[in-house]
Amino acid sequence: MSTTTRPSYASLVWERSILETKEFIRSRDQMIFIFAFPLIFLVLFGAILGGNEIGQGVDFVEYFLAGMIATGILNTGFQSLAIGIAIDRDDDVLKRLYGSPLPPSAYFMGKVVHVLMVSIVQIALLLALGYFAYGIEPPSEGSAWLTFTWVFLLGTASSTLLGLGASSLPKSGRAASAVITPIVLVLQFISGVFFVFTQLPAWLQTVAEVFPLKWLAQGMRSVFLPEDYAQAEARMSWEHGTIAIMLVAWLVVGLVLALKTFRWQRAGDR
Amino acid sequence: MSTPAIEISGLTKAYGANHAVDGLDLTIEQGEVFALLGPNGAGKSTAVEILEGYRKRTAGDVSVLGIDPAHPTLEWREKLGIMLQSTSTSTLLTVREAVTHWSRLYPNPRDVDEVIASVGLEDKADERAKTLSGGQRRRLDVALAVVGRPELVFLDEPTTGFDPEARRQFWRLIESLREGGTTILLTTHYLDEAEYLADRLAVIAHGKLVALDTPKGLRGRAENAIIEWTDADGPQTLATPTPTAALRDLLSKHHGEIEGLEVRNPSLEDVYLELIGQAAADAAELDENEEAA
């Protein structure tokens, strides 16, 4: 007995993330929805609004592609995660895990790593479609990919932690979709995903600036749109500093929410 | 024997005015197989979930493997195996994947294939849990509860939905765990199961302990034997502390064969039902007194 060692934290996180990903791939409906939804939207919006120049020689499809990459992170990390966890809680999956020696934070980290894996595939698919269908070339400079890396990591981490926190919002797994989906949908409309942000009424822009998706989308535009387009942004700049501050702020909100409100059992089961 | 595996004194869990567990005292020794019996809503699961660290108690002292379960640690969790009352839902993993995953959470797990075989799922090892029947999924739950080589196993109504063969196989598994020195606390509705497996058993009703004994001792509490037969008026039942005299009397009244004649000692179930009935009557009386007061 004394010779045995307990599994390392890293191995537990890896074990969890592989397991989550395996289950994700096998739940074919969910996987198809997560991967196909942004692609279908890109095709749809490309067909409807493609060819419209929105300033600095940028086509709306390019703008939309960056927005889809941003919202894809929010879909996977926040929406799917929060709904999935709410259902797992109803099915006592979380209760079982709580009864095991798995550290709670390793469960959370496993979710983050799983979301990273899914998001990378999703972004690769979007970029591939953008390139082959619309001839949008991904940036070649290293600095752009450096920006991408931190925006992507911060966006994923804050989305996932917010998803963990929001998973305790709905009273039941059945209600989860109804509670969580509208939040994301509204944000998509006001955060510069479906519409060009600067074309929104000023008050709506102000509302959107409180939430993370606006900043995540702006960060992705700074990666995938030409440098000149910064002139067309709301404050005529990419505002990298503000993006970082806002995403970190939401990351902290998500972390506090996740730690304070996360429930391993159904409501009233204590 | 060293310190007890489980020590409970004055355990109370109140939901508003309702006491789900009401001043329970219990000590379970290491290596013991202990069965908790009681009707639905008696407080069995509530008590067990307090011991497992899922629910907070209202009052009382509890020690499980030397730890207060209200403050669970991971080291403590490594020594426990928990099978919840609800059947695990249809995970998309195969039986082997699920057991393997669970085994990786523990420092000194059992061999995955041996555990799968011990619950009789070797033929299903590579099938997704989703395709299993309810009873088979329950057996998977047993496998998940024991794969971490726990010192103490909680089994909350483990054999509900088992066919007779699966139940026998489960009993053999419990026997082998007992031989390995594992402490087992199980709740069950099956009296035969408690009688066969348990070293001692407790009957609780309305959150209170109504009996604590060995199965044999509990069965011995019955005062009456039961005589059954059929006469012109239909089936008859007689409970009597003097079955020989009663039978002699019966024989003298009947000439020839007595239809359907049966004399039996009360089963554990008879004793159990009597205890539960008594507890229910006491509770009703208490309620009336409270209302009157």
Does pLDDT of A23 surpass 70?
yes
Alpha-carbon distances, residue A137 vs A127, A147, A211, A224 (angstroms) = 8, 17, 29, 9
Residue of A nearest to B14 (CA): A270
Residue of B nearest to A25 (CA): B92
The predicted pLDDT at position B266 comes to 79
**For residues A64-78, average pLDDT:** 94
Does pLDDT of B201 surpass 50?
yes
The identity of residue B244, as a single letter, is T
Average pLDDT of chain A is 91
Q: How far apart are CA B176 and CA B114, in angstroms?
A: 12
A19–B102 C-beta distance less than 8 A:
no
Residues A106-121: pLDDT tens digits? Answer: 998 899 899 999 999 9
| Look-up of token digits 């102000």 | A206
pLDDT grade for B291, boundaries at 50, 70 and 90:
low
Task: Say how many domains are in chain A.
Answer: 1
CATH class of segment(s) B6-218: alpha beta
Residues B234-243: pLDDT tens digits? Answer: 888 888 888 8
The shortest C-alpha distance from A161 to chain B (Å) reads 23
The predicted pLDDT at position B292 comes to 64
Q: Number of A:B CB contacts under 8 A?
A: 73
The predicted pLDDT at position A269 comes to 63
A23–B93 C-beta distance less than 8 A:
yes
Both tokens of residue B2?
């060293």
What phi-psi label fits residue A65: left (phi over 0), alpha (psi between -120 and 50 degrees) or beta?
alpha
Q: Which residue of B80, B90, B105 to mutate against A (max A Cβ within 10 Å)?
A: B105
Domain borders along chain B are 6-218, 220-292
Q: What is the reported pTM?
A: 0.86
**For residues B245-252, average pLDDT:** 88
Residue A4 domain flag: no
Residue A23 domain flag: yes
Both tokens of residue B153?
């196993």
| Cβ neighbours for B178, distance < 8 A, ≥ 6 positions apart | B31, B33, B184
**For residues A131-149, average pLDDT:** 93
| Cβ neighbours for B20, distance < 8 A, ≥ 6 positions apart | B13, B14, B43, B46, B207
Average pLDDT of chain B is 89
**For residues B150-164, average pLDDT:** 91
The predicted pLDDT at position B160 comes to 83
**For residues B151-159, average pLDDT:** 94
Sign, Cα dihedral of A184, A76, A39, A218? positive
* Whether ipTM exceeds 0.90: no
The shortest C-alpha distance from B263 to chain A (Å) reads 47
| Look-up of token digits 């061999």 | B111
**For residues A232-253, average pLDDT:** 94
Burial code of A91-110, b = ≥16 C-beta within 10 A, e = fewer? bbbbbbbbbbbbeeebbbbb
Residue of A nearest to B101 (CA): A15
pLDDT grade for B290, boundaries at 50, 70 and 90:
low
Rounded to 10°, the helix A173-190/A81-90 angle is 170
| Look-up of token digits 């505002």 | A239
**For residues A182-206, average pLDDT:** 93
The predicted pLDDT at position A268 comes to 67
Determine the 3-state secondary structure of A72 from DSSP. Answer: helix
How would you class A263 by CB atoms within 10 Å of its CB: exposed for 0-12, middle for 13-18, buried for 19 or more?
middle
The predicted pLDDT at position A1 comes to 45
Task: Report the percent of chain A where pLDDT is more than 70.
Answer: 97
Residue A2 domain flag: no
Does pLDDT of A257 surpass 80?
yes
> Which has the minimum average pLDDT: A159-168, B33-42, B108-117, B260-269?
B260-269
Residues A25-61: pLDDT tens digits? Answer: 998 888 888 899 889 999 999 899 888 888 888 999 9
CB B161 within 8 A of CB B142: no
**For residues A9-18, average pLDDT:** 95
Does pLDDT of A2 surpass 50?
no
For residue A99, what are the domain limits? 9-261
